[in-house]
Amino acid sequence: MKNIRNFCIIAHIDHGKSTLADRLLEFTSTVAEREMQNQLLDNMDLERERGITIKSHAIQMNYRYKGEDYVLNLIDTPGHVDFSYEVSRSIAACEGALLIVDSSQGIEAQTISNLYLAIGSDLEIIPVLNKIDLPHAMPEEVSDQIIDLIGCDKEDIIHASGKAGIGIEEILNAICDRVPAPKGDPAAPLQALIFDSVFNSYRGIEVYFRIYNGTLKKGEKVKFINTGKTYEADEIGVLKLNQEPRTEMAAGNVGYLISGIKNAKEVKVGDTITHVDRPAVGIQGFEDVKPMVFAGIYPVETSEYEELRNSMEKLQLNDASLVWEPETSAALGFGFRCGFLGMLHMEIVQERLEREFDMTVITTVPSVQFHVHTTKGQLLKVSAPSEMPEPNYIDHIEEPFIKAQIISKSEFVGPIITLCMEKRGILKNQTYLTSDRVELSFEMPLAEIVFDFFDKLKTISRGYASLDYELIGFRQSNMVKLDVMLNAEPVDALSAIVHRDKAYEWGKRLCEKLRELLPRQMFEIAIQAAIGQKIIARETVKAMRKNVLAKCYGGDISRKRKLLEKQKKGKKRMRQVGNVEIPQEAFLAVLKLD
Ligand SMILES: Nc1nc2c(ncn2[C@@H]2O[C@H](COP(=O)(O)OP(=O)(O)OP(=O)(O)O)[C@@H](O)[C@H]2O)c(=O)[nH]1
C-alpha cells in the first residue's frame, strides 16, 4: 500500500486537464501507441464532440521511480461548474490533486472553487503551470497568483505543457514524492466507498469503488450497507484502459465490481460495500446534491413513459447529480420533474437520454425552486409554475439567492457591473488580484444567472471573465406566474415564474417568440400571455394549408410515401397540445427572449 498514489486533476474548464492526462498515460506506457488518441479519457462521444469533460474517469498507471514500483490511480475530473458534484466525489477517493493553471490565462473562478474542494478534503496540492509552450504564456505573473492563492513556494510549481510534453516526468515524480500513500488497514473489516457506477446491458451494473479498509476477494459475499442487499463479487479488478480483473484487492486501491446487478435502484453512489460475514459500519458518503434548475422531461410518445423511467434510472447510475420524481402536466401527460446543476447539465442529460437510450424527449421551461409561504402559514417548495398556488393563497414568495464570484480583466469591470445590475445583482466586493485582474463579488437571484447570464458575461468580457457561484439562501421577491394560452387553452408546460417588474415585457416577448416558433397549421392560433385573469399580451399565428402531397400528382406511391415519411420525421420532438402542435424549441422559448 505504501506505493499506491491516488490523485485527481482539477482545473478551470479548458486549462488542459485532459491533454495532460493523455501525456501521463503515454509516459507511463499505460496505453500502447496505437491505442492513443486525443482526450483518451473523455470516452463519451458527447465529450469528444464538445471537447469538454462531463464525467470523472479513473485509470491506473504503473510507474517506476527511484527503484520502486508505484501504482498511480488517476481520476480526471470535469472543469465546468455544472459538474462540480463529479469533482467533489472524485476528490473523496484521492489523497492528492494536481492543480492545473493555464499560464496564458491565470487563475479563474473554478480554479479557486475546485481548489477549495480539494483543500477541504485535506488533499496534498501539486500546482502545475500548464501550456508554457504558448508564446503569450505569463509564467512569472501566474506563478505569483498561485503562490498567493495556496501559499506554496515558487519551486513547488511545476512548469508543464500537455501539448508539447514538457514537465511530464517531473509531475509523475512529484506525485510519488509529495502525495501521501493511502491510509487504511488491509486486515480490518471491509469498507469500500462507491463513487461511481455505470449500466452495462451485457454485464449488469458496474460499480466503481475505493477501498478504505480491508481486502476484497473475487467470489466473496458482499453487502451494500445502505440498501442492505447482498451479492457475490463475481468479478473485481482495476481500471486500466480496459478493465483488468484481479483476484484480490486491498485497502488504498481503486477498482470496479461486477456482480450481476440489474436493477438500477440497488446501487447508490456514496454507499459502502462490506462483507456479509464480517461487516463494518458505513463510511460517510457524499453530501446530497443541491439541484439549481428544475425542468420537466416528457416522452414525445406518451406510450414511452415507462421506458423513459427505466432510462432515467440507468442514466442516474452514471450521473449521481441528476434527481427526479414523477410529475403530470395537463398539457403533456406523464413525465418527470428533474433537478439539474445548471443549464449545461440539463442539455447533457437530454442528449444522453437520446443517444444512449434512444429516447426522444421534450424538456419544459426550466425554473429555479421558490419558497412559497401560504396565507395558512405553510411553506411550499415550488419548482414548476404549475405547482404555484392561486394568488389569494400566497402570503409571500422567496427566491434563491447566490453569491457570484467573477474574475476578469479590469477593463471589463464597467460592463460586468452593468450586466449584473440588470440582473438584479448587488455588488458586494471588488478586489484587485493583480494590477489588471479583478475579482468581483455579487449577490443576485439564482433565476437571473442560470439561463443566459454566462454567455452574456463571456460576450461582454470577450471571453476573459470567469464565473463561479454558490447558494446563500432565500429572499423575499415579488414573483408572479405568467400563464400562456394557445387558442384560449392554458398550456401549463409553457408557463413561467417571473419577477413582477419584468412580467409585462416578458409576456410580450414570449408571445412574439412563440409566434416565430409555432409552425403554421390549418387554423389560426391565438397566443396569449396572462397574469391571473388578466391578459397582458397577444399574438396570432396565421392559418396555412400545408399539403406535402400537393406537388405529387401522378401515381408514384413510393415517392408519396417518402414525402410522408419525411414529414413524419420533421414532426419529431413535437407535442400535440389540444389541437396545436408545439415543437421542442417553443418550450424553451423563454430562454431566448433577448
Ligand atoms: N498550447 C497548448 N495548448 C494546450 C495545452 N494543453 C491543452 N491545450 C489545448 O487547450 C484546449 C483544452 O484542453 P483540454 O485538455 O481539453 O482541457 P480540459 O481542462 O480537459 O477541459 P475540460 O475537461 O472541458 O474542463 C485544447 O484545445 C487543447 O488542445 C498545452 O500545454 N499547450
- Taking the centre of ligand 1 as the mean of its atom positions, its distance from the CA of residue 419, in whole angstroms, is 29
CA of 102 to the centre of ligand 1 (A): 9
Q: Looking at the predicted structure, is the pLDDT value of residue 97 above 90?
A: yes
Q: Is the pLDDT of residue 552 over 80?
A: no
Question: Quick check: CB of 111 below 6 Å from ligand 1?
Answer: no
Taking 90 as the threshold, does the pLDDT of residue 39 lie above it? no
pLDDT tens-digit readout, 512-531: 888 888 888 778 889 999 98
- Mention every residue, 6+ apart, whose C-beta is less than 8 A from residue 577: 331, 332, 486, 489, 491, 493
Flag whether pLDDT at 25 surpasses 60.
yes
Ligand 1, closest atom to CA 164? 31
**Residue tagged 451485457 (cell numbers):** 202
- Give yes or no for residue 79 CB within 6 A of ligand 1: yes
pLDDT higher than 60, residue 549: no
pLDDT of residue 571: 47
Q: Judge whether residue 550 has pLDDT over 60.
A: no
Total-model pTM: 0.76
> Whole-number mean pLDDT of the chain?
85
Q: Which of 19, 23, 76, 348 to mutate to test the pocket of ligand 1 (most atoms within 8 A of CB)?
A: 19
> What average pLDDT does range 148-165 have in this prediction?
91
- State percent of the chain over pLDDT 70: 90
> Which own/partner pairs from 469-473 qualify as long-range (CB within 8 Å, at least 24 positions apart)?
469/81, 469/402, 469/403, 469/404, 469/405, 470/113, 470/402, 470/403, 471/290, 471/292, 471/400, 471/401, 471/402, 471/446, 472/401, 472/402, 472/403, 472/443, 473/400, 473/401
Alpha carbon of 122 to ligand 1 centroid (Å): 27
Atom of ligand 1 nearest to the CA of 21: 15
pLDDT for residue 198 is more than 60: yes
Task: Describe the strand order of the beta sheet including 4-11 as a list of residue ranges.
Answer: 57-65, 68-76, 4-11, 96-102, 124-130, 158-159
Give 122-147 pLDDT, tens digit per residue.
999 999 999 999 999 999 999 998 99
Whether residue 11 has its Cβ less than 6 Å from ligand 1: yes
Interval between CA 17 and ligand 1 midpoint (Å): 6
Average pLDDT over residues 552-567: 63
Sign of the CA dihedral 305, 311, 314, 318? negative
Of 185-199, 370-384, 456-470, 497-511, the range with the lowest mean pLDDT is 456-470
Distance CA 3, CA 268 (A): 30
Mutation choice for ligand 1 from 14, 52, 138, 348, CB with most ligand atoms inside 8 A: 14
**If you measure from the C-alpha of residue 20 to the centroid of ligand 1, how many angstroms do you get, rounded to a whole number?**
8
Percent of the chain with pLDDT over 90: 35
For atom 12 of ligand 1, the residue with the nearest CA is 14
- Residue 166 CA: nearest ligand 1 atom is 31
Mutate to test the pocket of ligand 1, among 99, 163, 344 (most ligand atoms within 8 A of CB): 163
Q: Does 490 sit in the ligand 1 pocket, CB within 6 Å? A: no
DSSP 8-state class, residue 532: T
Determine whether the shortest distance from the Cβ of 460 to ligand 1 is under 6 A: no
What is the ipTM for the molecules in this complex?
0.96
Distance between Cα 432 and ligand 1 center (Å):
27
Highest mean pLDDT among 352-356, 463-467, 540-544: 352-356
Where would I find the H helices in 16-138? 17-27, 45-50, 84-92, 109-120
Of 32-46, 234-248, 358-372, 505-519, the one with minimum mean pLDDT is 32-46
**How close is the Cα of 155 to the center of ligand 1, in Å?**
24
Q: Which residues contact 457 (CB under 8 A, 6 or more apart)?
A: 406, 416, 419, 465, 467
Query: Does the C-beta of 15 come closer than 6 Å to ligand 1?
Result: yes
pLDDT of residue 36 exceeding 90: no
What's the confidence (pLDDT) of residue 290? 80
Q: Verify whether ligand 1 is closer than 6 Å to residue 30 (CB atom).
A: no
Separation of CA 593 and ligand 1 centre (Å):
33
pLDDT at 114: 83
- Ligand 1: atom nearest CA of 15 is 19
Q: Ligand 1 pocket, 53 CB below 6 A?
A: yes
**pLDDT for 488:** 86
Residues at the annotated binding site for GTP?
Answer: 14-19, 130-133
d(CA 499, CA 512): 19
Q: Which residue has the higher pLDDT, 92 or 62?
A: 62
**17 touches ligand 1 (CB under 6 Å):** yes
What's the CA-to-centroid distance between 584 and ligand 1, angstroms? Answer: 33
Q: How far is the CA of 379 from the centre of ligand 1 (A)?
A: 46
* pLDDT at residue 33 in the model: 65
Over the stretch 229-265, which tens digit does the pLDDT of each residue have? 999 999 999 988 788 999 999 999 989 999 988 888 8
CA of 457 to the centre of ligand 1 (A): 22
Indicate the DSSP class of residue 64.
E
Quick one: average pLDDT of 574-583? Answer: 76
Closest residue by CA, ligand 1 atom 14: 16
Considering only 257-261, 302-306, 395-399, 434-438, which range has the smallest mean pLDDT? 434-438
The mean per-residue pLDDT over the stretch 32-48 comes to 66
Which residue's CA is the closest to the ligand 1 atom numbered 7?
Answer: 16
pLDDT surpassing 80 at residue 490: yes
